Amino acid sequence: MSSIEITTDNFENEVLQSTVPVLLDFWAPWCGPCKMISPVIDQLADEYFGQLKVGKINIDNNSALSDRHGISSIPTLIVYKNGEVAAQKIGAATKYDIINLFKNLI
């Protein structure tokens, strides 16, 4: 299972009502660092399937969600648990750093 596309339409159901923590990757197609971490994000979606939901939010197509989260720099990673923001990291990160965002939440 790879990451899922999160949009304004499915945010409530996929993120706020999720029974497992959700790692959100705010990105854009023109962002170099976003392209760098994208394969890692997809790997984590596979490796933590069932324990963690992984979603990607294209800020160009979902400006309401990026505004709601105050996104001013990408990539930005946000972890939700029980409908609340539990962790956040701005900028490209290593796989280890990304895992550290959510490992104590699963």
**Is the predicted pLDDT of residue 18 greater than 70, yes or no?**
yes
As a three-state string, the secondary structure of 5-72 is: ECCCCCHHHHHHCCCCCEEEEEECCCCHHHHHHHHHHHHHHHHCCCCCEEEEEECCCCHHHHHHCCCC
- For the chain, how many structural domains are there in total? 1
| Domain extent at residue 95 | 4-105
- List the one residue out of 102, 99, 105, 106 whose CA is nearest residue 37: 99
For position 1, what pLDDT does the model report?
Answer: 59
Mean residue pLDDT of the chain comes to 96
pLDDT for position 2: 81
Type of residue found at 80: Y
Q: Which of 31, 54, 65, 79 is catalytic?
A: 31
Average pLDDT over residues 2-13: 95
Selecting among 22, 23, 24, 34, the annotated active-site residue is 34
For 60-105, the pLDDT digits (tens) are 999 999 999 999 999 999 999 999 999 999 999 999 999 999 999 9
Share of the chain above pLDDT 90, in %: 98
Q: Which of 49, 60, 91, 66 is nearest to 11 (CA)?
A: 66
Task: Give the residue-averaged pLDDT of 6-12.
Answer: 97
Annotated catalytic, 31?
yes
Residue carrying the six token digits 């992984």 = 54
CATH number of domain containing 67: 3.40.30.10
**Is pTM beyond 0.85 here?**
yes
Q: Give catalytic status of residue 34 as yes or no.
A: yes
